[in-house]
Amino acid sequence: MWISLWKQFWAALLWWGRPVLKGVLRRFTGLCELQRICYGEPPGAARAISAERSLRLSRMTAIHAMISHLDDVASQGRLRVDTQTQILSCASVLIMQVKRINPRVHPTFSSSFERCVQLVWGYRQLCSQVEQMRTTHYDSDNLHHEEKLLDLWRQLMPQEPLEARITKQWQDIGFQGDDPKTDFRGMGLLGLENLLYFAKEFPGASGHVLSHSHHPKYGYTFAVVGINLTSMAYNLLKDGSAKTHIYNVSKGLPTIRNFHQFYCYLFYEFDRFWIESKPQNMMEFSIIHQRFEKSIRNSLKNKSTVFRINIKIDNV
């Protein structure tokens, strides 16, 4: 009860006190909150996260309308290379009008603010794209899906031909049974796309991880663990935790490539984390997975975080 009352008190204080504080700061600095963010915060996650928070806390009707429009643009996938210039420019012009920012006095504000919009709503668009892939069920009657699955085998086991479509060989790369399609139920096509990207774009790292999965003492089911890590990457993306990394690593619009690479980092690092944990058996997977996710979430709280695969071959 007391915790609830305390939260209500701080919410009320924020609601009434924030406009007053913003007014005082604008009087003394001559800058609105968005200008202070764009000029004072480092580019990337720190600036974009603060700018989004400022926009969504605004009480101005015009800003609410702009946010709603950008949300629709992102959810419909209309923020593209050929359309983004006009979309970002319109958002910048509106903000400069409602915030009374003189472009001649503040010539750098527009580009800085547009970059924030590009990251924030590019990320939102990425979430929609990932969700669409996750909800697309693997269909063994779809030749495109089947070709991706067969390509995964070729990438991971180039020296060993697949004897049949349904075979125990799939267990060699960590599927549970003779037909991998049953393992994709939770994450849909997204799980396959992640695994295939890891195998194709990082053949050395994926081969290294696959070899660890065959370890006589610390081995694990490569593909099934990979799909579990797809679920982890998806949850980090959806709840916004991954914004730190995605905002810092994106050179332009956040894309599915950024998500795939984020996943690859998680898989490579989980393998290291698993081996260093020296598990007794796969029954410890849930506990080790939770500890690993906690460490990733803690790292993402640092707004300067960028994850990169640092390949270090070891013998265990």
Percent of the chain residues past pLDDT 70, beyond the cut: 89
Q: Is the pLDDT of residue 190 over 50?
A: yes
DSSP at 168: G
Q: Is the pLDDT of residue 67 over 60?
A: yes
Give the closest residue to 229 by CA, choosing from 180, 272, 262, 182. 262
Question: What is the model's pTM?
Answer: 0.91
DSSP at 177: S
Least confident residue range of 5-19, 60-74, 132-146: 5-19
**Angle formed by the axes of helices 109-134 and 33-40, nearest 10°:** 90
In whole angstroms, give the CA distance from residue 121 to residue 104.
27
Output the CA–CA distances (angstroms, integers) from residue 167 to 12, 129, 162, 171, 176, in the order listed: 62, 32, 8, 8, 11
Q: Is the pLDDT of residue 19 over 90?
A: no
Q: What is the pLDDT of residue 14?
A: 55
Q: What are phi and psi of 79, to 5 degrees?
A: -90, 95
Percent of the chain residues past pLDDT 90, beyond the cut: 85
Q: What is the pLDDT of residue 6?
A: 56
Q: What separation, in Å, do the N-terminal and C-terminal C-alpha atoms of the chain show?
A: 53
Residue 26 near residue 32, CB atoms below 8 Å: yes
Residue 246 near residue 254, CB atoms below 8 Å: yes
Residue 118 near residue 124, CB atoms below 8 Å: no
- Look at phi and psi of residue 174 and say left if phi exceeds 0, alpha if psi is from -120 to 50, else beta: left
Q: What is the pLDDT of residue 22?
A: 59
What is the rounded average pLDDT for all residues in the chain? 92
Query: What average pLDDT does range 112-123 have in this prediction?
Result: 98
Q: What is the pLDDT of residue 173?
A: 98
Q: Which two tokens stand for residue 76?
A: 């419909």
Q: Is the pLDDT of residue 20 over 80?
A: no
Query: What average pLDDT does range 53-59 have in this prediction?
Result: 94
- Can you count the helices (H) and strands (E) in the chain? 13, 0
In whole angstroms, give the CA distance from residue 186 to residue 180.
12
Output the CA–CA distances (angstroms, integers) from residue 290 to 86, 225, 273, in the order listed: 43, 13, 11
Q: Tell me the residue type at 138.
A: Y
Chain segment 80-108, per-residue pLDDT in tens: 999 999 999 999 999 999 999 999 999 99
Least confident residue range of 49-53, 166-170, 279-283: 279-283
Query: What average pLDDT does range 154-181 have in this prediction?
Result: 96
Q: Is the pLDDT of residue 25 over 60?
A: no
Q: Which two tokens stand for residue 178?
A: 């003779």
In whole angstroms, give the CA distance from residue 177 to residue 81.
42
Chain segment 207-252, per-residue pLDDT in tens: 999 999 999 999 999 999 999 999 999 999 999 999 999 999 999 9
In whole angstroms, give the CA distance from residue 36 to residue 250.
23
